[in-house]
Amino acid sequence: MRTTASRTLLHHYSSRHFLSTLSQNNNSSYHTSQNIRRASSLFMSSSVATASCPPSTAFTSSHEEITLLTQQQAAHIDDVLMETFSTDQLMELAGLSVAQVVQTHYQLSGRGDDDRLENDDEGSVQKIVVVCGPGNNGGDGLVAARHLKMFNPTFNVMVVYPRLASVEKPLYKRLLAQLNMCDVPVVTELDERMLLERDGDVRRRRHNTIVIDAMLGYSSRGAVRE
Ligand SMILES: NC(=O)C1=CN([C@@H]2O[C@H](COP(=O)(O)OP(=O)(O)OC[C@H]3O[C@@H](n4cnc5c(N)ncnc54)[C@H](OP(=O)(O)O)[C@@H]3O)[C@@H](O)[C@H]2O)[C@H](O)CC1
């Protein structure tokens, strides 16, 4: 029974990532998709997800109904998966799927030959900023940034990693080396000017930046601190 549930959970792992993030951060920058809704119903029908606290529902800005997991439920699902899968594997799946949902939702297509984004109108996306915390949730963000860049090298992706210096684990060192290989800049502070495509180019200021919140997952404790 546990193996079957485990397989279902793994298959939809990344969608859980979205769900738990949404439940923990009311101001999450993530948007939902049909995939997430489908995954949520699968989660809730799995024996692993039947925790003492029942799941709740919420609506996104586009009025899609989604199921939310509590911090405890999300951690429990990871505990079950960690009996069989490594952190690297789960992180890779979570980050890849975040990248896929962002690309699909925002219909990102990269730049045309003339160094402009295709469909360069007011709704186009100029930059993707992934803000990463010091834990595994931040690791998911590092993976998502890499995949977005690999989907299309012309995507303007950057990582903000405020506690970069305190991250000692070999896993994070590898993830950072991979970002370096892919030419994704990693900074510890976000300077507002980084959000502009070109200094002094007023036209480009109107365009959008996607901010992916990968700061805190289910191990978040108390009020947010530096
Ligand atoms: N099986 C797994 O573990 C996997 C989890 N995944 C994702 O990772 C998160 C859970 O990861 P975890 O490392 O346990 O923790 P977090 O990323 O949520 O954050 C822990 C760090 O955050 C700091 N922290 C905690 N509370 C606060 C706060 N209020 N303000 C600022 N900083 C905070 C904490 O810092 P300390 O100073 O207390 O050490 C930790 O460093 C899970 O949600 C999944 O998204 C992966 O997908 C892979 C598998």
* Reported pTM: 0.77
Task: Measure the CA–CA gap between 172 and 36, rounded to whole angstroms.
Answer: 27
Domain ranges of the chain: 1-85, 108-217
Task: Measure the CA–CA gap between 187 and 176, rounded to whole angstroms.
Answer: 11
Give, for all 226 residues of the chain, the pLDDT tens digit: 444 445 545 544 544 444 444 333 333 333 333 434 444 444 443 434 444 456 677 776 677 787 788 999 999 999 999 999 999 999 999 999 999 999 988 888 765 443 444 444 455 666 899 999 999 999 999 999 999 999 999 888 999 999 988 888 999 999 999 999 999 999 999 877 666 555 455 445 545 789 999 999 999 999 988 8
Residue 117 CB–ligand 1 contact under 6 Å: no
CB atoms within 10 A of CB 107: 11
Expressed in angstroms and rounded, the spacing between residue 7 Cα and the centre of ligand 1 is 24
Residue 135 CB–ligand 1 contact under 6 Å: yes
Task: Measure the CA–CA gap between 42 and 38, rounded to whole angstroms.
Answer: 7
Task: Measure the CA–CA gap between 199 and 103, rounded to whole angstroms.
Answer: 26
Written as six digits, the tokens of 191 are 């300077």
Nearest-atom number in ligand 1 for the CA of 20 is 43
> Are 215 and 132 spatial neighbours (Cβ–Cβ below 8 Å)?
yes
Residue 94 CB–ligand 1 contact under 6 Å: yes
pLDDT of residue 63: 74
Residue 95 CB–ligand 1 contact under 6 Å: no
pLDDT of residue 207: 57
What is the Rg, in whole angstroms, of the alpha carbon atoms belonging to the chain?
18
Residue 140 CB–ligand 1 contact under 6 Å: yes
Expressed in angstroms and rounded, the spacing between residue 115 Cα and the centre of ligand 1 is 38
Residue 225 CB–ligand 1 contact under 6 Å: yes
Task: Measure the CA–CA gap between 81 and 104, rounded to whole angstroms.
Answer: 27
Written as six digits, the tokens of 181 are 């290989």
Written as six digits, the tokens of 144 are 């998502």
- The matching CATH number, chosen from 3.90.950.20, 3.40.50.10260, 3.40.50.300, 2.40.50.100, for 108-217 is 3.40.50.10260
Expressed in angstroms and rounded, the spacing between residue 198 Cα and the centre of ligand 1 is 34
Q: Report the half-sphere exposure of 59 (CA within 13 A, side-chain side).
A: 4
Angle at 89 between CA 88 and CA 93, to 5 degrees: 115
Expressed in angstroms and rounded, the spacing between residue 98 Cα and the centre of ligand 1 is 17
pLDDT of residue 194: 66
**Location of structure tokens 């890499």:** 146
Residue 218 CB–ligand 1 contact under 6 Å: yes
SS3 98: helix
Q: What angle separates helix 2-11 from helix 13-24, to the nearest 10 degrees? A: 80
Residue 168 CB–ligand 1 contact under 6 Å: no
Backbone dihedral angles phi then psi of residue 224, each to the nearest 5 degrees:
-65, 130
Expressed in angstroms and rounded, the spacing between residue 217 Cα and the centre of ligand 1 is 5
Expressed in angstroms and rounded, the spacing between residue 175 Cα and the centre of ligand 1 is 16
Residues forming a β-bridge with 57: 67
> Are 47 and 77 spatial neighbours (Cβ–Cβ below 8 Å)?
no
For every residue of 118-156, DSSP letters joined together read TT-STT-EEEEEEEE-SSHHHHHHHHHHHHHHHH-TTS-
